Amino acid sequence: MATARKAPRMVAIWAVVVVVVVVAADLFGAAVARSASARHAVGKKQREFDYFALALQWPGTICASTRHCCAINGCCRSEPLQTFTIHGLWPDYDDGTWPACCRHTSFDMDKILPLKPTLEKYWPSLYCSSSSTCFSGKGPFWAHEWEKHGTCSSPVVKDELEYFTTALDLYFKYNVTEMLASGGIHVSNGKQYALTDVIDAIKCAFGASPQIVCKKGSVEELRLCFDKDLKPLDCLTTTATNENVSKKKYCPRYITLPTYDPIVHANSTREIITVESEVYGYLYTS
């Protein structure tokens, strides 16, 4: 009799397990399909993009997980980074997908040599590993961003130098760290801010809604979107309501902009050449 009474519970448990496995498989399958689609697109003609996303990283969230330092990692500098830094300028499609690796061209550091000091300061790698490039190679963080995204930025951006110059111009013109500060949102190791307040501060200063990616309740990335004339544009996933932003990007109602304590590398004062591996967001990987 005892066995008979337990049978329904066992059936229910197995039903839950099956549902979880099916959902996990669907999510994994979708991720694999998107990855396969991106690989399939490499080197093939792709349609023109619809808008730009300027992706910015919050070092306080990313660098807090640094355990082993190296001279090429911006997180390992003696002075902690306390402003948003550039991840990349990404041409995207309105349907949530994006072009990638549109031309078979290699990154050439000599073409952007005058920008190197500025790039090292405001567009550093926050990792020690090398980045993948479009055609089965490895290289600096900047090489990854140019080959994967910059080559798809035509006709707005026509060459490597213009790609990095355009990204830097937008970064300085629309200073997100200052926008948030003007709205009372400051760097703080513990103070929480309402997600809606963070979004409203950006909308007030920038004129359009951002995209926000969180990690364990802290801002990891913030993205500003632009039309092809480089005018502010509502980001694709934030055009409905502020509540929708939280749901779409898995940010809680209250978020933080944390600081971090750098692990200083012995040779961190020497010239830094930035390299980085992929950074994965909640909505898409870039």
Q: Return d(Cα 59, Cα 56) in angstroms, integer.
A: 9
Which one from 144, 147, 149, 276 is the annotated catalytic residue?
A: 149
* CA separation, residue 204 to residues 68, 210, 212, 251 (Å): 39, 11, 16, 20
Q: Return d(Cα 86, Cα 34) in angstroms, integer.
A: 24
Which one from 68, 104, 120, 145 is the annotated catalytic residue?
A: 145
65 residue type, one letter: S
Residue 261 CB neighbours (<10 A): 10
Q: Return d(Cα 251, Cα 8) in angstroms, integer.
A: 37
Q: Return the residue matching tokens 């005058």.
A: 114
Q: Return d(Cα 258, Cα 49) in angstroms, integer.
A: 34
List of E strands, 38-136? 51-57, 85-92, 131-132
Q: Return d(Cα 72, Cα 128) in angstroms, integer.
A: 6
The alpha helices in the chain, defined as continuous H runs, are 2-41, 59-62, 116-122, 141-148, 160-173, 176-182, 195-206, 242-249
Indicate if 144 belongs to the active site. no
Which one from 87, 220, 221, 265 is the annotated catalytic residue?
A: 87
Indicate if 40 belongs to the active site. no
What DSSP character marks residue 270? S
Q: Return the residue matching tokens 């939280």.
A: 246
Which residues are known catalytic residues?
Answer: 87, 145, 149
